[in-house]
Structure 1
Amino acid sequence: MPKVHRLCLVGFGNVGQAFARLLLKKAPELAVRYGVSATVTGIITGSHGAAINPEGLNLEAALDVYETGKKLDALSTVDPPEEAQTFIRTCPAEFMFEVTPVDPHRGQPALQTIKTALSAGMHVITANKGPVVHGYQALTELAKQQGLRFMFESAVMDGAPIFSLFRQPLVGANLLGFEGILNSCTNLLLGLMEAGKTFEEALDYGRSIGITETDPSNDVDGWDAAIKVAALVTALMGIPLTPQEVDRTGIRGITPEMLAEAKLAGERWKLVCSAEHSPNGLVARVSPQRVGPESPLYAVNGTSSYCQFKLDVLPGLGILEYNPGPETTAYGLLADFLNILEVQ
């Protein structure tokens, strides 16, 4: 008989819904292969209400309700609190999945939400970069004190195994630096502009496929890339770093003429993310750069991401994620969940 584990979801946007669909799809496999039954007992959203059912919510019904723009409250068997902190304390669950939008500057309110869940005795899994950057040490220590885990595989490069790679297969290796393309939106925009679209036309296309936000500033001005650099440096290199401390330049200054000139020279413009040790300390940077065919970054197209790591025992190890979407981010959440269960 599969062991039942109760899950609470804070956030039910694209990633939260993709995770719900993945749980439904994987339910038979989880039961047979891992002896696990994942039951979602609570969901709270920013604009579609909340629902709690200690026996487990009907995820298909939750997805249908959300898609029609209605409130989730109708699925609840108790009166659900509308405030996230109270909701977490009320929801009967052992795992809290935090999938709300990122605040690159302070990491709130997700940071406080995660503290509340850990204090309430829940393992925490998040796809949110903000708490990783602005609260990594405090949250990790709190989780350890509580005998719990704080996991965040999906915070950078969606579901690609980066953080878990350094926890397990690369145990004993020291990260000296990295370089890569970590922002899907700007990589897509630069490619479209290289093909002849204007900046605004590229933005409109990005919005039409759900890659670009209505306000693209976080992506275009390099903030999303900077917080990803900060997350990797903080968690993998052991150096606390905020996005404000990253030397950051976005892509607003890249003109069609610059793209055409690079193309004639056999090169391409990419928004390159990097960090490395130097004699004067850590150098962390986000900046548009011209790269040639000899660079692994040259062939990273569309919404794909790539990161090459420099280790003391491996001179170059690269991870490529091809055109990720909410489904790949959802997989990272599931992978963290299963990794926690295998550790217990």
Structure 2
Amino acid sequence: MREVKLFIVGLGNVGGGLVKLMKSLEKEIERKYSTKLKVVGAVDIEGSAFSKEGLDLDEILKTKNKGSIKNYPKFGSAKNALEQIEENWKNFDVLVEVSTTNLETAQPALDHIRNSLEKGKHVVTSNKGPIALHYDSLIKLAKKNGVILGFEACVAGVIPVIRILRGYLALDKVQGINAIVNGTCNFILGKMSEGISFEKALKEAQEKGYAEADPALDVTGMDSAAKLVILNNIVSSRQISLKDVKINGIENLSGDARNTKLIASLRNGDAKVQPEKVQEGSFFASVNGVLNAIEIETEIAGPLKFSGRGAGGRETAYAVLADILKIAAENRI
């Protein structure tokens, strides 16, 4: 039974969801992967907790529910993520970076990831900022240090599109991608198609936990654009950035929204995100609620279509967990 020691940065919807999944799936993970996952460190915006012997999952959730992980009995402190990485890098195997996304500077997640890769630590992240803004340099840094950078959770929730593009389709030529990669917008547009105003649809999305208190990244199309940049930089030798994407969000939409979807598309180097009317009865027309969907056109495999849950802490946490277990299964610990 191998042991994998995790240092989790971020205890919001995704980080908390990961801890809950690890707890509920513990026996299955041990049986199917011959692996025991141990959380040795955890960080939130106010502080951290670290123990080489491992933190109790129930106590992590209980402490965080009351406020900050810095109040974890005996092992809590005001140290931030970088301080803990510097002090305890020899005591964990995988950095799990699931903090809040910053699409302007990618910080502080970028420093957490770089620092860990440089120290020969595997990294798994759901944070789009570093991957969208610094994909090429981070991939090279991971390769240089002989470690894995897993970022399946950055795009399309539980749909394993990154694993498919980097693995199964690595030798095929991707000719185009069309995708619905923001579950929040898809939910809002679905409600608007029923005649509900954008404002009321957004409020409902927030009440259900599908939209953040500040929904700007979602409704302006920036979140979808960041995901499109990541997909492009996986499949194309021509690396692009956010400034190369033509972006139109849904925040100014009004009127008839039936069969309207926020589509992220990539073809011949042209990257764009915009609301589009889709044909009734088509693949994208059937993608409702917070589902995501991706259509990949390739030279050999032809058109491939995938759909699945794309919004929610539990779903994203599952993608994070899958990356962690992939590292363990490849005997990279």
Q: TM-score range by the shorter chain?
A: over 0.9
Q: Structure 1 pair 44/52, CA: closer, same or farther in 2 (3 Å)?
A: same
Mapped partners of 2:160, 2:140: distance in 1? 23
Mapped partners of 1:291, 1:140: distance in 2? 36
Report how far residue 269 of structure 1 moved.
1.2
Once the two structures are superposed, the pairs formed by residues 1-344 of structure 1 within 5 Å of their partners are: 2-47=1-46, 49-77=47-75, 80=77, 82-91=79-88, 92-256=91-255, 258-259=256-257, 263=258, 268-277=259-268, 282-322=269-309, 324-343=311-330, 344=332
Identity rate, percent:
29
Could you tell me the TM-score, scaled by structure 1's length? 0.91
Q: Structure 1 pair 164/43, CA: closer, same or farther in 2 (3 Å)?
A: same
Report how far residue 130 of structure 1 moved.
1.1
Judge conservation of contact 2:247–2:272 (CA < 8 Å) in 1: yes
Report how far residue 68 of structure 1 moved.
2.1
Name the SS for the 1:298 alignment partner: helix
Report how far residue 300 of structure 1 moved.
0.9
Report how far residue 169 of structure 1 moved.
2.7
Mapped partners of 2:315, 2:27: distance in 1? 19
Mapped partners of 2:30, 2:281: distance in 1? 46
Ranges in structure 2 where 5+ consecutive residues have no aligned partner: none
Mapped partners of 1:215, 1:74: distance in 2? 29
Mapped partners of 2:22, 2:246: distance in 1? 39
Name the SS for the 2:285 alignment partner: coil
Report how far residue 62 of structure 1 moved.
0.7
Mapped partners of 2:211, 2:77: distance in 1? 33
Per-residue CA shift, 1:149-188, capped at 9, x if unaligned?
A: 1110000011211111123333421212100111111111
Ranges in structure 1 where 5+ consecutive residues have no aligned partner: none
Instruction: Tell me the matched-pair count.
Output: 329
Report how far residue 210 of structure 1 moved.
1.0
Name the SS for the 1:168 alignment partner: helix
Mapped partners of 1:323, 1:224: distance in 2? 12
Judge conservation of contact 1:121–1:146 (CA < 8 Å) in 2: yes
Equivalent position amino acid for 1:211 in 2: Y
Name the SS for the 1:140 alignment partner: helix
